[in-house]
Structure 1
């Protein structure tokens, strides 16, 4: 299969390294993935803004290389003045894309738990910076783990669109039917922005189970059984993972997905192997 759709967009996500060794490794990973010429890289913000300084530093380094970069941003643990200062610093760097997320007050601050919804952040960004930023938001084909219902989750997503979101990136999933059903549900609700599938390569089953349990992503039973059967055979897990995710990506793009967003976990090889198998360009 050769993907030549010039309208499709492809992107990679990093998290801010916490050590100097991690910083140096990410420089190499970024350089290797930049050679694939994605549309942009995104950089996560951490729960409650816990990595906001690392995010800003990582974003700055990537931006200096000439790559387009989209910082994740939330109100969690930050005042409006702090967020405005961050937005202004990103504007000064020439950054024009953000990933706007819901934020919560970090634990241990002595403040009662409080949520600031993504639509409120989007409204603030639009009020203070106009249309400077292309705003990405998150969405959940298999429902956000804290949502009351499927319909309420769609409604929360619609609020973000009405607040000014330009496009969305989904939580990762392995059931393509969930994605296409979600698209149909969004269309019925009047949501018409591009919804790009988030793609998680499979390299470690234990870690994948932990991530999936916390974010509400389903690992289909047939996949779970197969991965469990490999035990500690990491090579077989990786080979199977490449095969499964490649097939998923092919089906998504053939079905009209507007692109792919890869959760790289600051690793080159899994993403690059899938990319090469798909013949993306």
Structure 2
């Protein structure tokens, strides 16, 4: 038996031993067109069968569309019964406005929030950035109600951080303010995540540091994301997608293999929670979860 086959046999045996003790959550963004909306609900329907711990819906800073995110959240809750968490940014909204939004969430049964500062933007549609940071937003939310709060973490360091140490201190402040978990920016260097997780423990951060997994299906799009976030794309990944710009099916298969290889290592290191950046697509994420043993019950749809 080849080394690769032995590794897969070991991985499959490990999955069986876990007996479904793996938790997933999914991120979506609000659809903007009728066609996008149809595919969005198809994706929600398919992935909801996997019983995620929660799903989140993004809100872009400066978009001025909190209401759109809120409506999508409420629709997901009513159609699926899933726990749905809106993203909330504070860089583009005054404390008074944030209090009103948070109170509306609380009054309407929304208990989970992804609290973010939001990215700075040169084109902010006439809105001025506030001096608030994510830690301030966590404090504000906790004053309104006992929200379950997720915050962002950066294994490869936030691009605006003064240093890795200051970035880590900032994360600890968010946790100390009441955040319940941290979800990482996507990454492809598993060792960077593991080192970061160890550093979090060393400074007294005890909440889960959930790895954010971005399945690759469009390499040009990934490069665009990488330029924005400063996440490093390893040279071996660049090589694997070389010349495949127009072969989407092959790109999907490679993306699945890359994600599964990452998950294999993370599972061996004790990780049991994974957050998938779905980009409103179900195919790659559903396939990866199926391989992980996360499947609909026999007789259910899917």
Q: 2:86 aligns with which of 56, 71, 77?
A: 71
Please say if 1:280 is aligned against 2:273. Answer: no
Shift of 1:224: 0.9
Question: Take 2:46 and 2:74, find their aligned partners in 1: how far apart are those partners?
Answer: 18
CA offsets per residue over residues 7-36 of structure 1, 9 Å max, x none? 642100000111232223212211111011
Q: 2:135 aligns with which of 95, 119, 133?
A: 119
Q: Which residue of the partner structure matches residue 192 of structure 1? A: 206
Please say if 1:90 is aligned against 2:98. Answer: no
Question: Take 2:230 and 2:157, find their aligned partners in 1: how far apart are those partners?
Answer: 7
8 Å CA contact retained: 1:18, 1:54: no
Q: 1:271 aligns with which of 261, 285, 297?
A: 285
Residues 89 and 238 of structure 1, relative CA distance in 2, 3 Å threshold: same
8 Å CA contact retained: 2:92, 2:128: no
Question: Take 1:120 and 1:63, find their aligned partners in 2: how far apart are those partners?
Answer: 27
Shift of 1:266: 0.5
Residues 134 and 7 of structure 1, relative CA distance in 2, 3 Å threshold: farther
8 Å CA contact retained: 1:250, 1:278: no
Question: Take 2:239 and 2:133, find their aligned partners in 1: how far apart are those partners?
Answer: 37
Q: 2:44 aligns with which of 3, 7, 30?
A: 30
Q: Mapping of 1:34-53 within 5 angstroms?
A: 34-53=48-67
Q: Which residue of the partner structure matches residue 224 of structure 2? A: 210
Aligned length: 279
Q: Which runs of 5+ in 1 are unaligned?
A: none
Q: Which runs of 5+ in 2 are unaligned?
A: 1-11, 296-302
Q: What TM-score results when the alignment is normalised by the length of structure 2? A: 0.86
CA offsets per residue over residues 244-277 of structure 1, 9 Å max, x none? 1111112112211240000000011011111112
Q: Mapping of 1:1-16 within 5 angstroms?
A: 1=12, 2=15, 4=18, 8-16=22-30
**Of the two, which has the highest radius of gyration?**
2
Q: SS where residue 181 of structure 1 aligns?
A: helix
Question: Take 1:10 and 1:108, find their aligned partners in 2: how far apart are those partners?
Answer: 33
Q: Which residue of the partner structure matches residue 128 of structure 1? A: 144
Q: Which residue of the partner structure matches residue 146 of structure 1? A: 160
CA offsets per residue over residues 159-178 of structure 1, 9 Å max, x none? 11111111010001111100
Q: Mapping of 1:182-261 within 5 angstroms?
A: 182-261=196-275
Q: What TM-score results when the alignment is normalised by the length of structure 1? A: 0.92
CA offsets per residue over residues 189-231 of structure 1, 9 Å max, x none? 1111111000001100000010011112111111111112434
Q: SS where residue 103 of structure 1 aligns?
A: coil
Shift of 1:112: 5.0
